[in-house]
Structure 1
Amino acid sequence: MIDQEMLVKPDPEDGRLYQVVGGIDHEGKPVEAAVINERPLTIFLNGREIVTAMTIGDHPEYLALGYLLNQNMLRPDDEVRAVDYDAEIETVVVRTTRQTDYEEKLKKKIQTSGCAMGTVFGDVMEKFETVTLDSQARFHTSWLYGLQKAINTMPSLYLKTGAIHGCVLCEQDRPLIYMEDVGRHNAMDKIAGYMFRHGLTTTGKSLYTTGRLTSEMVIKTVQMGIPVLLSRSGFTAWGVDLARKAGLTLIGRAKGKRFVALAGTERIVFDADPTQAHDEPGHLSRKGSRDDE
């Protein structure tokens, strides 16, 4: 039922995204392990090279669009004439009708804490500070418990290989779009690109991520206009501070029946008995490795 309702879901059987490598285990016995592939993708905007990101290589068009949107280099009302992907030279060219001002934005580029070459530009805060999130939106704890079960048990590259992050666009207790990549910011950008390309609204939506709730993830969520951000991992202080300033509901450490909300708590509706939720032992996840990387 979940698969029928989802617009995009992980494809752990796509052999282009991973490879099997031989090695030995802790007892010195031969083993084989699936390891994720990562490759460069260079993004151009109207003929100008913007950035080269490391990615697993799926959904390159959505990644390019979402990246440019979340860096405030594309506006939501921009008309995109074409998105051209060349697999041989690993490039995506986004072409717009309006002349963009990306050259000035490139001068303000700074490095952030996002893994796998996450970048943010100095003026993204201009858009962040003008966004008004839906104050009437509500998020039910029953939805959280349903999402955790659906997402954590769904076949994915994470379960197959580890070393990867996932982000999920959700509607109430249903996952809609599940993207994975070596960087959580890439997975988020793919969702933003899909929403832009297909005209999806943010009404009734939330975002789930497997990674830390950092400033970058909060900024991207707010810029996308989504009022709720969830994670099974923890927080950074700046991420919490920005979420509070923006009125974003920020829920972390969501494992089993437990969670902690540090911002936007007025949106949370406690409609489920936590004693009835499936609990997880301790603070460890897949194969005993910590999932807050």
Structure 2
Amino acid sequence: EKIDVIPYELLLTIYLNNISISTISCSPFNLIMLTVGFLINNGYIDKYSDINLLKICDHENNGIAGQNKFSRKVEVFTTVKSDENVILQNQKYISSACGSIDDFILGKDLKKIKSSIRVNSEVILKLNIETLKHQRHKKAHGGLHSAALFDKNGIISVIMEDIGRHNCIDKIAGHILIKRLPVNDKIIFTTGRLSLDIIYKISKMLIPVIVTNSSITYSAAITARKLNLTAIGYARGGRFNIYSCPRRVT
């Protein structure tokens, strides 16, 4: 017999100005980064300074008998008050397998990415290996996605891990916002599929290049072209496919 270590799952409920806006199924680390990234990527805030107070608390009433140790809540108070009716209409539960881009952000015009970054193909080929090298939680028990932030030379800035691929991207967004990092020369590598909602998150962050070792959906590729975002898939085993804006790859 052998003891198997399995990943931990947490239900994180976000309260914005005393209104519950979302419950996210996530891994129990980097929760502040996740919350900030979720708020910016879903249009609840425009910048980190919009937040007056953010605190993570135990969740006393999560509706699941005996499961309080598996749930937390985060309370966020902002300078700009969102429309309560819009918030209540978009209130939702997000599983680890599903992403979310709230309806009201889909109605907004996203900015086209103007970065003139050029990335050598040799750098792209190394991103998968570098990401795997820096994974900590996945090495311990598997079952997690990862997203890593690189500069154009392939130097890693931060890696985020989570049971949800969308959560990894939100955690990176939160890190960028809190650390006030420039993004016009950055690359994100993710182990998850590039779906439409991931493309919206990346474009909201103004990251010019997104790379995955997995696949990309048709709608994601078309949207990436419209937003001037370089989307690269299947970057593993000495190869990759470019689906949009190939001029950034040399």
Any conservation in 1 of the 2:17–2:78 contact (CA below 8 Å)? yes
- What is the DSSP-based 3-state SS (H/G/I as helix, E as strand, rest coil) of the residue aligned with 1:159? helix
Q: Does 1:52 align with 2:23?
A: yes
Q: Distance in 1 between matches of 2:58 and 2:48?
A: 28
Quote the residue 1:97 is aligned against. 79
What amino acid is aligned across from residue 99 of structure 2 in structure 1?
G
Distance 1:117 1:260, change over 3 A: closer
Q: Does 1:70 align with 2:50?
A: no
Q: Distance in 2 between matches of 1:120 and 1:154?
A: 29
Residue of structure 2 aligned with 1:143, choices 108, 123, 130: 123
Q: Distance in 1 between matches of 2:8 and 2:244?
A: 36
Any conservation in 1 of the 2:22–2:92 contact (CA below 8 Å)? no
What amino acid is aligned across from residue 189 of structure 1 in structure 2?
D
Greater mean deviation of Cα atoms: 77-86 or 241-250: 77-86
Q: Distance in 1 between matches of 2:88 and 2:120?
A: 40
Any conservation in 2 of the 1:131–1:222 contact (CA below 8 Å)? yes
Q: Distance in 2 between matches of 1:242 and 1:143?
A: 25
The structural deviation recorded for 1:237 is: 1.1
Distance 1:111 1:215, change over 3 A: farther
Q: Distance in 2 between matches of 1:135 and 1:88?
A: 42
Aligned length: 238
Quote the residue 1:168 is aligned against. 148
Alignment of 1:1-293 (within 5 A): 30-76=1-47, 78-87=49-58, 89=60, 90-101=72-83, 103-108=85-90, 115-127=96-108, 129-172=109-152, 173-269=154-250
TM-score (norm 1): 0.75
What amino acid is aligned across from residue 60 of structure 1 in structure 2?
L
TM-score (norm 2): 0.88
**Bigger relative contact order (CA 8 A; separation at least 6):** 2
Any conservation in 2 of the 1:110–1:122 contact (CA below 8 Å)? no
Which segments of 5 or more consecutive residues in structure 1 lack a partner in the other structure? 1-29, 270-293
Any conservation in 1 of the 2:194–2:216 contact (CA below 8 Å)? yes
Which segments of 5 or more consecutive residues in structure 2 lack a partner in the other structure? 61-71
1:47-83: CA deviation from partner (whole Å, max 9, x where unpaired): 1111111111111111111111111111127521111
Q: Distance in 1 between matches of 2:234 and 2:146?
A: 15
Q: Distance in 2 between matches of 1:46 and 1:88?
A: 16
Quote the residue 2:65 is aligned against. none
1:15-40: CA deviation from partner (whole Å, max 9, x where unpaired): xxxxxxxxxxxxxxx23222000011
Pair member with larger Rg: 1
The structural deviation recorded for 1:180 is: 0.7
The structural deviation recorded for 1:118 is: 2.6
- What is the DSSP-based 3-state SS (H/G/I as helix, E as strand, rest coil) of the residue aligned with 1:160? helix
> What percent identity do the matched residue pairs reach?
27
- What is the DSSP-based 3-state SS (H/G/I as helix, E as strand, rest coil) of the residue aligned with 1:31? coil
Quote the residue 2:69 is aligned against. none
Q: Distance in 1 between matches of 2:134 and 2:90?
A: 40
- What is the DSSP-based 3-state SS (H/G/I as helix, E as strand, rest coil) of the residue aligned with 2:160? strand
Any conservation in 2 of the 1:230–1:250 contact (CA below 8 Å)? yes
- What is the DSSP-based 3-state SS (H/G/I as helix, E as strand, rest coil) of the residue aligned with 2:243? strand
Distance 1:137 1:125, change over 3 A: farther
